[in-house]
Amino acid sequence: MFRKVLVANRGEIAVRVTRTLHEMGIGVVAVYSDVDRASLHVRMADEAERLGPAPSSESYLRIDRILEAARKHGAEAIHPGYGFLSENAEFAEACEQAGLVFIGPSPDSIRALGSKTAARENAVRAGTPVVPGTAGGVNLDEARAFGRAHGYPVLLKAVAGGGGKGMRRVDREAELESALRDASSEAERAFRNPEIYLEKWIDRPRHIEIQILGDRHGNMVHLGERECSIQRRHQKVIEESPSPLIAEHPEMREAMGAAAIAAARAAGYYNAGTVEFLVDPGRRFYFLEVNTRLQVEHPVTELVTGLDLVRLQVEIAAGARLPFRQEDITWRGSALECRVYAEDPYNNFLPYPGKITRLERPLGPGIRLDACVYEGWTVPMEYDPLLAKLVVWAGTRDDAVARMIRALNEYEVGGIRTNLGFFRQIFEDREFRAGHLHTAFIDEFFARPHQLEIPSDLAAVAALAAALESTAHTFTAAPPSGKGASRWVIAGREELLR
Amino acid sequence: MFRKVLVANRGEIAVRVTRTLHEMGIGVVAVYSDVDRASLHVRMADEAERLGPAPSSESYLRIDRILEAARKHGAEAIHPGYGFLSENAEFAEACEQAGLVFIGPSPDSIRALGSKTAARENAVRAGTPVVPGTAGGVNLDEARAFGRAHGYPVLLKAVAGGGGKGMRRVDREAELESALRDASSEAERAFRNPEIYLEKWIDRPRHIEIQILGDRHGNMVHLGERECSIQRRHQKVIEESPSPLIAEHPEMREAMGAAAIAAARAAGYYNAGTVEFLVDPGRRFYFLEVNTRLQVEHPVTELVTGLDLVRLQVEIAAGARLPFRQEDITWRGSALECRVYAEDPYNNFLPYPGKITRLERPLGPGIRLDACVYEGWTVPMEYDPLLAKLVVWAGTRDDAVARMIRALNEYEVGGIRTNLGFFRQIFEDREFRAGHLHTAFIDEFFARPHQLEIPSDLAAVAALAAALESTAHTFTAAPPSGKGASRWVIAGREELLR
Amino acid sequence: MKLNLNVNGKREEIEILTPAPACRFRLNGSSERMADVTMPEPGLYSILLDGRSYDVQVERAPQHLIVVLRGHRFEIEVEDPRRWSRQSARGSGGAVETVAAPMPGKVVRVLVAPGDAVEPGQGVLVVEAMKMQNEMKAGRAGRVISVTVREGATVTAGEVLATIGEFSG
Amino acid sequence: MKLNLNVNGKREEIEILTPAPACRFRLNGSSERMADVTMPEPGLYSILLDGRSYDVQVERAPQHLIVVLRGHRFEIEVEDPRRWSRQSARGSGGAVETVAAPMPGKVVRVLVAPGDAVEPGQGVLVVEAMKMQNEMKAGRAGRVISVTVREGATVTAGEVLATIGEFSG
C-alpha cells in the first residue's frame, strides 16, 4: 500500500479524501493556492505545498506544479478528487509518466468516456440507449440544422463538460446564437475546451445514475443508483439513494446496472465511476454520460451500502482485487444529501462568498457532514461555492426526510447566505415527499405559490432580541467616537444584560 | 402518537431524545435546574420549565416539580432518559397516576428488576446463571460473614445502583468497614437508598450486555450484544458492538439473547431494556443486572442494527406493536463508542469541570457525535461529567478502530481536561486491538510501561507557536496596566503577525 | 427605553421595561410581557417566552440586524437618531435606474459606455463569482449616465456599477 | 527577539528573526529555520515547517500556555521579567506538606483540625465534584498546621486546603 498520497484538490472533497487516507495510515500531501493557505484541507494534511495564485489556471489546474509537489514530497500516488484535473487524460498520463499512480481509471478510459460525444459512441456500441444528439462539437450552422431537424427545445452541452458548466436550454432558434456563444466561453473557462454539442430536450426527465466499481483484474460491480433529479442551473443540489422510482420498480436497478457495466467495460474501465442516465416519464432510460472519477454525491451510496468508496479507490489503484462480488452488495435504508452552497436561493442562486462569522453544525443520529468550513474562514470567490454536504441516513425515505429537516433546523451558517432555508422548503414540499422528482422540479417549485406566514410569536421574539442586541452594542457601531462609545457599551450591557 | 413529550433529564441524553422527538414531529418540553438554564437541551427544546436549584435532589429528582411541569405544558408522556428518575418505580407510578405515559417499562417491572437483589432472584427463577452473592442489602456483620464464607476479594454494590455508584472492590476484611460506609453514603446520595449488597469477585471478567426490546402485546426481541469491558472506576468508558469475543463465538449471541429475554419475560418486561452479564475467561456468562431504561451506550446498537431505539421506545409507549420479528434483525459492520468526560485521566480520572473555550468536532464518514457541549458553555460541577459520546461505524472492527483514532485526532476541547488523549492511547494499544478485553483492562494498561517519546519537530513547532502567542498577547495578561498594555498588544501583533 | 424597529419592512415599536434575565417588555403598546433571557454566546440569545424556548441568532449587517430563529430570517432595522441622515440618503434614484451588483464578485466584462443608448434587457456588464457569470441587464430603455467600475474590479453585493437615465433627446 | 521557554519542564531558547507569515527563527542557537505561519482563528496557528503542516492550538493558563498539536499536549512557560517574582514565590514548602485539591470541586467533609496528629494515609478532607468523592490523605506522619477551607467551600484545582508539619514534640 502507498505510504504517501498527494490530494490534487481543495474544499470538502480534499478533506473527505484526507480523512480516509489518514484512516488507512497513509501520509497526505495537500496542495493549495494563495487564497487556500488557511483552508481546512491544508490544516488537516501532514504535508502541504503551494501551487500558485488563486485562479485555478494558475494553481489547481497546473499539472507541472502538482507533479513537482508530488516529487518534492515523495508521494507515490495522486488522488484527483472531482472537478479540476480529475477527468483530464493528459494529467492521468503525466502522472504515470512521472512514475506516480493516478487514483482513477486509465488515460485511455478517460479519453473514451471523458468526452461526452465519444462516450455516446461508446455507449451505442455497447448497446445502451442514448438521447438523440449531434455526433460531436458543432458550429452555429450545424446547431441550427439539428434544431430544425429535431425541433425545440434543444440542450447545449460542453463536449468536455460536467456539473452543468456550459449547459444551456434553448427554446427557439432566435436564442441559439447568444446561447452558443455564452456556453462556449463558459466551457472554455471551465474545461479549456470551447466545444459544444446539442441534444434533443427530454421533458421533465429524472436524473438517475449508477455507481460502478472495477478493479484492474477485470472484475466490476455496480453499487446501485443515486437519484439526482433536484437540480438548479443544471447542477445537482439534492441526491438520494435508493431512487424513489426504483424503490417502486426494483427491476430497473438490475437493468440500469447491467447497462452501466456494459458501457464501462466497453471502455476497459477500472476504479470508481458513475454512469448517468435520463429516465423519461415512461421509465425508459437513456445513457447521458460517464463521470470517470469520484462523484460529489458518493456519500449516499456509502451510507446505504456500508462501503468506503475512497478506500476502495485507493486499494484498487494499489492493485488490489475487488473484495466482493455483485451478490455480496446489499442496500440498507435510505440516504439523502444536500449540497450546502454559499449562495442566495431567493436571488437566482447567485453565489454569496464571504467570511463565516458563526457556525452551528447538526449532530446526532444518522447525520454525516462532509465540510470544509470553519468559523472565521473566508469562502473564496474564485471557486465553486460548495461549503458542505449534509447527508442523512434512516431506515426509510420518510424517516430520512424527517431527519434531514431536523438536521437543517440545527444548522446555522452566519455571515454569508446559504441555501439551507431553501432546502427546508423543498423537504416540506408534498411533491418531493411523494417522490415525484424530475430535473425541472425546482423551476416548478418556484412557480407554485408559497406564502410562508411567520408565527407572530416569532416576530415578537425577534424584535426583542434585536432590541437587546442593539441596545447592548449599537454605540460601538459608530467607528470614530471610540472612547466614549466603549463606556456606553458597558453601560448598555449592564443595563440590559445583567 | 403523542403531540408533546416532556424529557425529564439533562445533558447529552436529553439532547439525543429531543432530536428523535423532533424527527417524529413531537413537541419537546425540557426541564432544567438553575445551572442548566443555558444548556443545549433547553436551547433545543420547544418549551422549557425550571425545576429548581442545581442539586439533583432539588431539581432533576423532584418528581412533584416534573409532573407539575408536564401538566402545565400539556405533555402527554415523559421520557426519563438514563440516570436520575429513569429507574425509579415511584416516578413511573406517579406518571401514570397523573395520566401521563411513562416511556419505559411498568412500575412493577422496574421494581422486579430495578433492585439488583430482586433482579437476581428473578433471574434465578428464569434459570439464568448468576454470580454468588448476598440475598439483599447487608449490615457489617452480614458482610463479614459473606466474606469469610466466599473469600476475598468481594464486590460491594448498591441495591438501587447503577453506573458504578456505590461500588467498591474489597480485598481484605480490614477494609470492609470503611468501604461499606463510603459505598453506602455514595449510594444514599446517588439513589437515596443506602443499601449495599455483596458479590463474589470474578477475576478479569468481560462485561457483555444484551439489548432487549418488547412491546405491550407480549412480543420481545434482542438486538444483539454490546461489550463494555473497558471501565474505569466501575464505569464504562468504551463500548462496542459486536463484542470481539462473540464475533469469534457467534453461538454465544443466541444463548445470551435467549437468557436475556427469559429473564425479562419473567418480569413481564416491555419497552427497551438491557440485561448485563459477566463473562469469565472460560466464556461462562453470569447474569449481572437489568437496566430498565435506555442505556448510555445504545448508539453502538443503533449503528449496527440500523434502528432508532428512542423512536421505538416512543412508539411502544404509544401502544404500537414491534415492527419486526427476531429473524428480521440483522447486524452490519462494527461500532465503537467513547464516553468523552471532563476529567483528567492522568490524575485518577478526577472530574475537571470548567468553561469550554474552544471546540473542534470530528466530522466526515462513519462518525456520530451525541453531545451537549458548545463553545462558551460552562460544564457544571454538580452532575456527571459526560460531555459527549463519540461513536464510529465501519465495515470491520479494525477499520472502526482506525476511524476512531482519526476522529479523536480531529477532536479538540479547550479550557478543560478531557480523556480524549487517553482514548488515543487505548486504541493504539496492541491488547485492545487484539480484542483481549476485560474489566481490569485500564488498570493493567496503566501498569504497563508507556513512554510516548514526542517527535522533536513537534516540540520545535510548539515552542514557535508559544513564542508567537506570548509575544502577541502576554502584555494583556497583567490586569491593571490596561491602557499601556493594549498599545503593546497591537505592537506585538503587528511585529509578529503581520 | 423605547425603540422603533423595522422588521422585514414592517414598523414595530418595542419598549424594554426591565433588563435581562427577567426582561419585561411591551410590543406596539400592547400588554406587558415577561421573557427569561440569557446569552450563551455573543450574538446568541436563549429566550423563554410564555413557556416556549427560542434560540435566537443575531448578526450585524451594515444597515440592519439579521435575526434567525427556528429557521426564519428577519431583517431588522433599529431606528437610531444618528442613522436618520443615512436613512434619507438612501432610497430610489427617481428617474435614474441604478445597475447594482447582485452578488460579491468580479466584473469580467463591461458592455456599455457612458452615453450609449440601451434597450430594456440589453446587457450592461457581466459579474462573475465562483465561475458563475451573471449578466446585468438594463431594466429600461435609456442612456447610460455612468459606469462606475472597470473590468477586473472586485465588487460587493449591492454596489452600484452603472446608472441609466432618460434620453435627453 | 529572544525568549526563554520552559517546555514540559525542559528549558529552550527561541529567537524570532522575522515575523509571520514568513517567520525565520532559531531554536537553542541551532541553525536558522523558516516557517510559514498563519492564524486562521485566535489561538489557532497553521504552521508549515520543512513542508510539513501543523495545526497548533494555543490556550492560556494562569501560569503557562497549553499548546496542543497532533494530539500532543505541551505546557510551556514563557519567561517574562514581570513574572520572576511569582516564579520564585512558588515551589515546595520544604518540610511542610501541603494538601492540595486535585480537582475543582466542593469540600464535603473536613476530617482533621489544626493541631491534630495524623498518620500516613489518614484522611484529611473529602472533595466532591460531579457526584465523585475524593478523600485527600496525609502523605506523612505529622501534625496539622492549618486547614484553610471549611465544609461546603468551593475550591479550584491545585488550591491548598491544608498543611501538615513535623511533630514539634
Cα separations (Å) of D69 from A54, B460, D45?
A: 28, 11, 10
Closest residue on chain B to C54 (Cα): B43
Q: Do B371 and A365 touch (CB under 8 A)?
A: no
pLDDT of residue C49: 97
Q: Which of C21, C27, C68 is opposite residue A463, by nearest beta carbon?
A: C27
Q: Which of C40, C41, C53 is opposite residue B30, by nearest beta carbon?
A: C53
**Are the beta carbons of A47 and D53 closer than 8 angstroms?**
yes
- Does any CB of chain B come closer than 8 Å to the CB of residue A46? no
Q: Which residues contact B448 (CB under 8 A, 6 or more apart)?
A: none
Q: Which residues contact D116 (CB under 8 A, 6 or more apart)?
A: D143, D144
Q: Which of A48, A72, A376 is opposite residue D53, by nearest beta carbon?
A: A48
Chains D and C lie in contact, requiring 3 or more CB pairs less than 8 Å apart: no
B90-124 pLDDT per residue, tens:
999 999 999 999 999 999 999 999 777 788 889 99
C81, burial (CB in 10 Å: exposed 0-12, middle 13-18, buried 19+):
exposed
pLDDT of residue C146: 83
3-state secondary structure of B24: coil
pLDDT of residue C9: 85
pLDDT of residue A46: 98
Torsion of CA A99, A102, A106, A110, to 10 degrees: -130
pLDDT of residue A497: 43
- Min CA distance, A45 vs chain D (Å)? 6
Question: B277 pLDDT exceeds 70?
Answer: yes
pLDDT of residue A74: 98
- Min CA distance, B157 vs chain D (Å)? 16
Residues in chain D: 169
Question: B491 pLDDT exceeds 50?
Answer: no
3-state secondary structure of B178: helix
With cut-offs at 50, 70 and 90, classify the pLDDT of residue B498. very low
Q: Do C82 and A478 touch (CB under 8 A)?
A: yes
Q: Which of B48, B73, B377 is opposite residue C40, by nearest beta carbon?
A: B377
pLDDT of residue C80: 60
With cut-offs at 50, 70 and 90, classify the pLDDT of residue A212. very high
pLDDT of residue D169: 44
Residue keyed to cell 411513562: B102
Interface test with D, best of B461, B471, B490, B494 (most D CBs within 10 A): B461
* pLDDT > 70: percent of chain D: 89
Interface test with A, best of B12, B23, B302 (most A CBs within 10 A): B23
**Are the beta carbons of B112 and B90 closer than 8 angstroms?**
no
Q: Which residues contact A440 (CB under 8 A, 6 or more apart)?
A: A203, A204
Closest residue on chain A to C45 (Cα): A465
Residue keyed to cell 444463548: B255
- Min CA distance, C69 vs chain B (Å)? 11
pLDDT of residue C168: 57
Question: B151 pLDDT exceeds 60?
Answer: yes
Q: Do B410 and A363 touch (CB under 8 A)?
A: no
* pLDDT > 70: percent of chain C: 89
Angle at A278 between CA A275 and CA A283, to 5 degrees: 120
Angle at C10 between CA C5 and CA C11, to 5 degrees: 40
pLDDT of residue B300: 98
CA D166 to chain centre: 27
Q: Given the residues B62, B232, B293, B397, select the one marked as catalytic.
A: B293
Question: D13 pLDDT exceeds 50?
Answer: yes
Work out the average pLDDT over B1-19: 98
pLDDT of residue C34: 96
pLDDT of residue C169: 44
* pLDDT > 90: percent of chain A: 80
Rounded Cα gap, residues C106 and C128, in angstroms: 5
pLDDT of residue B486: 32
Q: Do D40 and A49 touch (CB under 8 A)?
A: no
* pLDDT > 70: percent of chain A: 94
pTM over cut 0.80 = yes
Rounded Cα gap, residues A14 and A85, in angstroms: 13
Mean pLDDT, chain C, integer = 83
Q: Which residues of C touch A412 (CB under 8 A)?
A: 57, 68
A263-281 pLDDT per residue, tens:
999 999 999 999 999 999 9
Helices (H), B380-477: 397-410, 420-428, 430-433, 441-447, 456-477
Rounded Cα gap, residues B340 and B342, in angstroms: 7
Q: Which residues of D touch B177 (CB under 8 A)?
A: none
- Determine which helix (DSSP H) or strand (DSSP E) holds A144, and give its type and residue range: helix A140-150
Q: Which residues of A touch B406 (CB under 8 A)?
A: 19, 22-23
Work out the average pLDDT over C109-134: 84
pLDDT of residue A117: 79
Neighbors of chain C by Cβ distance (3+ pairs < 8 Å): A, B
Q: Which of C7, C60, C133 is opposite residue A462, by nearest beta carbon?
A: C7
With cut-offs at 50, 70 and 90, classify the pLDDT of residue A491. very low
Range scoring the smallest mean pLDDT among A105-114, A232-241, D136-145: D136-145
Work out the average pLDDT over C24-45: 93
A48, burial (CB in 10 Å: exposed 0-12, middle 13-18, buried 19+):
buried
Work out the average pLDDT over A160-176: 86
B38-52 pLDDT per residue, tens:
999 999 999 999 999
Work out the average pLDDT over C4-15: 91
CA B233 to chain centre: 13
Examine the residue annotation and report whether B293 is marked as an active-site residue of this protein. yes
With cut-offs at 50, 70 and 90, classify the pLDDT of residue D80. low
Choice between D165 and B176, residue whose per-residue pLDDT is larger: B176
With cut-offs at 50, 70 and 90, classify the pLDDT of residue C56. very high
Rounded Cα gap, residues A214 and A237, in angstroms: 27
Question: C147 pLDDT exceeds 90?
Answer: no
Annotate D69-115 with three-state secondary structure.
ECCEEEEEEECCHHHHHHHHHCCCCCCCEEEECCCCEEEEEECCCCC
Q: Do C67 and A462 touch (CB under 8 A)?
A: yes
Work out the average pLDDT over A387-399: 98
Mean pLDDT, chain A, integer = 91
pLDDT of residue B89: 96
**Are the beta carbons of A384 and A28 closer than 8 angstroms?**
no
pLDDT of residue B484: 32
pLDDT of residue A479: 33
pLDDT of residue A474: 35
pLDDT of residue B474: 35
With cut-offs at 50, 70 and 90, classify the pLDDT of residue A450. confident
With cut-offs at 50, 70 and 90, classify the pLDDT of residue D89. very low
Rounded Cα gap, residues A13 and A313, in angstroms: 14
Torsion of CA B155, B160, B165, B168, to 10 degrees: -20
Closest residue on chain B to C55 (Cα): B43
Q: Do B414 and D106 touch (CB under 8 A)?
A: no
- Determine which helix (DSSP H) or strand (DSSP E) holds A255, and give its type and residue range: helix A251-266
pLDDT of residue B482: 32
Is residue D62 reached through a cis peptide bond, with omega within 30 degrees of 0 on the bond before it? no
Please report the ipTM that was assigned to this predicted complex.
0.83
With cut-offs at 50, 70 and 90, classify the pLDDT of residue C48. very high
pLDDT of residue A495: 39
Cell of C101: 451588483
Q: Which of B38, B72, B375 is opposite residue C46, by nearest beta carbon?
A: B38
- Min CA distance, B473 vs chain D (Å)? 10
Cβ count within 10 A of residue C32: 11
* pLDDT > 90: percent of chain B: 80
Neighbors of chain D by Cβ distance (3+ pairs < 8 Å): A, B
A354-369 pLDDT per residue, tens:
899 999 999 999 999 9
Question: C32 pLDDT exceeds 50?
Answer: yes
Q: Do B370 and A363 touch (CB under 8 A)?
A: yes
| Most confident by average pLDDT, B129-133, B434-438, B444-448, D70-74 | B434-438
Q: Do C134 and A471 touch (CB under 8 A)?
A: no
Q: How many CA atoms lie within 13 A of B178 on its CB side?
A: 7
Rounded Cα gap, residues A65 and A52, in angstroms: 8
Dihedral angle sign, alpha carbons of residues B81, B86, B90, B96: positive
Work out the average pLDDT over B370-382: 93
The single-letter DSSP state of residue B34 is G
Q: Do A465 and C45 touch (CB under 8 A)?
A: yes
Buried b or exposed e, range A136-153, using 16+ CB within 10 angstroms: bbbeeeebbebbeebeee
Choice between B93 and A470, residue whose per-residue pLDDT is larger: B93
Q: Provide the terminal-to-terminal Cα distance of chain B, rounded to the nearest Å.
A: 60
Range scoring the smallest mean pLDDT among A9-23, A445-459, B64-78, D43-57: A445-459
Residue keyed to cell 466542593: D106
With cut-offs at 50, 70 and 90, classify the pLDDT of residue D95. low
Interface test with A, best of D53, D55, D69 (most A CBs within 10 A): D53
Q: Do A42 and D46 touch (CB under 8 A)?
A: yes
pLDDT of residue C144: 87
pLDDT of residue C133: 78
**Are the beta carbons of A130 and A265 closer than 8 angstroms?**
no
Range scoring the smallest mean pLDDT among A168-182, A240-254, C38-52, D152-166: D152-166
pLDDT of residue C127: 85
Q: Do C16 and A465 touch (CB under 8 A)?
A: no
Work out the average pLDDT over B185-202: 91
A303-334 pLDDT per residue, tens:
999 999 999 999 999 999 999 999 999 999 99
Question: D51 pLDDT exceeds 60?
Answer: yes
| Most confident by average pLDDT, B26-35, B197-206, C74-83 | B26-35
Rounded Cα gap, residues A464 and A472, in angstroms: 12
Q: Which residues of B touch D69 (CB under 8 A)?
A: 458, 461-462, 465
Question: A476 pLDDT exceeds 60?
Answer: no
pLDDT of residue B453: 76
With cut-offs at 50, 70 and 90, classify the pLDDT of residue A480. very low
**Are the beta carbons of A250 and A238 closer than 8 angstroms?**
no
